Amino acid sequence: MLNLRVYFALIILVSLSMLSFVFVGNDTKFSEQTLGKIARKDSESAVLSPFHAQTSRMTEFLQSLQRKLGNGDLKPLKFKSTADSSSARYLLPIFKRSMGGSNCQYNAFKNAIKLAYETKRAVVLTPFFLHGGYVTGQYNLDNMRDFNETFNAKRLDKLLPVATLDKFKEVCNHGETKVVTWDIGPPGHYEETRKTRFGEYYGINLPPAAEVVDPTRTTSEEVNVFDQSPCAAFYNPRVINIEFENEAKLSRDVDLHLVRTPNVLALADELSEYICDGEPYLALHWRNRSAEKPCVFGSKQESYCQQLQAVMSELAKDASVAIRRFMDQRNIQCMYVAYPSWSKEIIDHLGRNIDRKKIYTADNITSNVRASQIKDDFYLFSLLEQEICSRSEVFLGAGLSLWSQFVAEERLANDKESYYTHQIMGISDQNKTVLKLM
């Protein structure tokens, strides 16, 4: 029997951790209802509600609310700007200080692509930052990753012009860059981002916070000045309030063109014949969020964490039985599980219900020489596991994970099935509630 005190404490803690997903505007808040009827009671005859239908609603809500490899070298590819500097208009995405983990940044970059596309600008390929899990603290040079270590710039260039940071600096540092945002947050955060990351790291000049344009709070004339400026920037692109024409098609086009670097794709190709012997497989992204409690990093509350572990263990046990049943229904015999190291217990539970030889994880694929070269690089290995999940027959994602959301949305663009794990039948109502928040 689950310790109810710990169970309800877990719900409260996870709910508090969701505050970064809550945006207030027009007296409306982000909620489960917005994502679709997530809390439905599934019966044995119920039809599963696709994950992609809910994640696309998430995207729509946020936007309506806040208007082969050669020699095996894993170094990033070099890419030149395709924008004609004599006539190009630029949009520079600015990730605010510690905005979130890598996938929060990826999803924000999608918004920047959409704004650049609609305003006929070249999107500037800003770096991303490894953040969360084993990496804490602010975005810094040690954790900075080049765009071309992450995504294929040549592929994105087929959708819209792209520009490097150097090109933006060359063209725009001699004039004035206009910055727009729908959520500037604390001005001090913007100033730190402007002075440290863009000023010291990149050598790019940006205006002070007082000159940033918020379309919801400024005159149409000021917005027009932004629109006419050849050099523009988009601060905190996680939040946007524009109703794009044919939003569904634009989102699909972005997902089809924002693909991982050729190095990652080539490694995934190499592993495809090894994972499940090349047969169709189910991919599961599993996490128990114990790192956020905190029960992995920082000052641990040992007594609480022991009780929390009991709750998570019961959850994993319940889910593993349901996952086996789901696989049987789909006639899928093998699976790949992506998980952070502190959520590994799920493998033991799955192994009691599924032939352990049919459960592939990071431990299996790192027997590959080139995969083993990046096993300790959490950033690149995460991209590889996302690609493996993207290629699966069916994907089961974690409830509130942007890692899962990114995979599910690209699968949607490629007409592949994805679901939340809590949607599959056979999981207790109590455990479904927890799984929704994982």
Residue 399 belongs to domain with CATH number:
3.40.50.11350
428 shares a domain with 309: yes
Question: Does some domain include residue 373?
Answer: yes
What is the sign of the dihedral through the CA atoms of 22, 108, 166 and 141?
positive
438 shares a domain with 307: yes
CATH code of the domain containing 132: 3.40.50.11340
323 shares a domain with 272: yes
Token pair listed for 68: 């082969």
134 shares a domain with 228: yes
pLDDT at 7: 54
pTM, 2 dp: 0.80
271 shares a domain with 236: no
Question: Bridge-partner residues for 93, per DSSP?
Answer: 234
429 shares a domain with 331: yes
Question: Does some domain include residue 82?
Answer: no
Q: Within 10 A of 225 (CB to CB), how many other CB atoms are there?
A: 14
Q: How far apart are CA 260 and CA 155, in angstroms?
A: 9
Question: Does some domain include residue 386?
Answer: yes
396 shares a domain with 339: yes
Question: Does some domain include residue 250?
Answer: no
Q: What's the domain count of the chain?
A: 2
Q: Which domain holds residue 331?
A: 1-75+261-438
Question: Does some domain include residue 256?
Answer: no
pLDDT at 300: 63
430 shares a domain with 295: yes
Q: Rounded to 5 degrees, what angle do the CA atoms 207, 209, 215 make? A: 100
pLDDT at 60: 45
pLDDT at 20: 38
337 shares a domain with 285: yes
Q: How far apart are CA 243 and CA 220, in angstroms?
A: 17
Q: How far apart are CA 84 and CA 198, in angstroms?
A: 23
Q: How far apart are CA 81 and CA 124, in angstroms?
A: 9
Choose the final residue of a domain: 212, 245, 278: 245
Q: Which of 236, 232, 182, 172 is nearest to 204 (CA)?
A: 172
String of DSSP letters for 179-230: EE-S---SHHHHHHIIIIIIIIII------GGG-B-TTTS-HHHHHHHHH-S
HSE, side-chain direction, 13 A CA sphere, residue 119: 28
C-alpha dihedral (354, 363, 347, 350), degrees to nearest 10: -10
94 shares a domain with 70: no
pLDDT at 196: 87
Choose the final residue of a domain: 245, 274, 309: 245
Question: Does some domain include residue 110?
Answer: yes
pLDDT at 135: 62
Token pair listed for 265: 């794709």
Q: How far apart are CA 407 and CA 395, in angstroms?
A: 9
235 shares a domain with 370: no
Q: How far apart are CA 162 and CA 116, in angstroms?
A: 10
Question: Does some domain include residue 432?
Answer: yes
| Regions of the chain short of the pLDDT cut 50 | 1-2, 12-80
Question: Does some domain include residue 304?
Answer: yes
326 shares a domain with 226: no
